[in-house]
Structure 1
Amino acid sequence: MKKRSVFIVVGILIIAIVIVKPFRLEPPTPKISVGERGIPTTQGSYCWDAMLLAQCVDTIHTSPIDMTESHAPSIVSKNDEIEIEFPIGYQPENLRLEQWLDEHNSKMVEVNNKRIKVPNESGVYVYHVIADWNQGDGNYAFLIEVE
């Protein structure tokens, strides 16, 4: 009976660690997608306070446009919706989204139910996701082309 109780407690601890991940050293990366197709993201600078270590990491990117230079734009249609989803247990307390117009100008984009509408005009668009948690913050950039 004692052995069984130990196994149950150990099992619950393992499940809690897998779900909560208290030893995570960086913020979670969102899954950005259109339907079933994933859109590549680039992680920018961040600060994160894990159980055993707190750290801030600065990346070499100068802007969200610079962050996306290693990606080809993901092709989307004018009627598509882009979903921004974080792993279970890591929903940010605050989520902001910017659309970058050029290296110095951006505008805020409204996120409704973890989704945004694709622009109605054809072109290439850079988006910057900024997320805040109790443990820290992170930012990510992605690139789309509307056809």
Structure 2
Amino acid sequence: MKKWIVLFLSVAVCIYVLSFLNLFNGKPLPEAPRAYIKSASIDIPVETASYYWKFGKEKNMSPWYAVKDKEAIIVPKNSVIKISFKREPDGPPIIRQVITDNDNRDIETKNSNEITVPSSEGIYMYSISADWSEGSAQYAIKVHVK
């Protein structure tokens, strides 16, 4: 009787391990698609602030903390920042201006993949939220309008 229990448990463990390896094919868990953001010919570094992706892969950070210690990229007043993704989201991204850690404000956009920066000089932070069938992600950028 003891042999049958050991044999059964051994087979169950083997099936579990094989199904786990087959599920992931030895590859790392997928993450949210990369975002590309630029103003004219200036590439703006993008931080992935938070995401939740299938199989429970996640990262949680506010956009404020994701970029607060990063160097702001200089962009001209009233310039247009274009947003694109390695893979397009299921719908238009939601763009907000990040004021503080707890204060994000919706901004009006003419095109859902563009931000027109203000004419006032200063440092501005923005969050871009997007959804895919596998999950969602929130990106953050920091610019210095001059």
- The two structures have a TM-score, normalised by structure 1, of 0.72
- CA gap of 1:24–1:94, structure 2 versus 1, over 3 A, is farther
- 1:64 is matched by which residue type in structure 2? P
Q: 1:39 aligns with which of 30, 44, 54?
A: 44
Q: How many Å separate the matches in 2 of 1:93 and 1:34?
A: 22
- Segments of 5+ residues of structure 1 without an aligned counterpart are 1-22
Deviant stretches of 4+, over 2 Å:
89-92
Identity between Structure 1 and Structure 2 (%): 28
Over 3 Å counting, the alpha-carbon distance change for 1:92 and 1:39 in structure 2 is farther
Partners of 1:94 and 1:133 within 8 A in 2: no
- Within 5 Å, give how 1:1-147 maps onto structure 2: 25-49=30-54, 54-59=55-60, 61=61, 63-87=62-86, 89-111=87-109, 112-147=111-146
Of structures 1 and 2, the larger Rg is shown by 2
Q: Distance in 2 between matches of 1:113 and 1:128?
A: 13
The answer to which of 72-81 and 89-98 deviates more is 89-98
Q: Work out the CA distance in 1 between the residues paired with 2:97 and 2:112.
A: 18
The offset of 1:70, in angstroms, is: 4.0
**Structure with more of its chain in helix, by fraction:** 2
Instruction: Give ranges in structure 2 of 5+ residues lacking alignment.
Output: 1-27
Residues 39 and 81 of structure 2 are in contact (CA less than 8 Å); yes or no, is this contact kept in structure 1? yes
Q: Is the 8 A contact 1:32 1:82 kept in 2?
A: yes
Rounded Cα–Cα distance in structure 2 between residues aligned with 1:128 and 1:113:
13
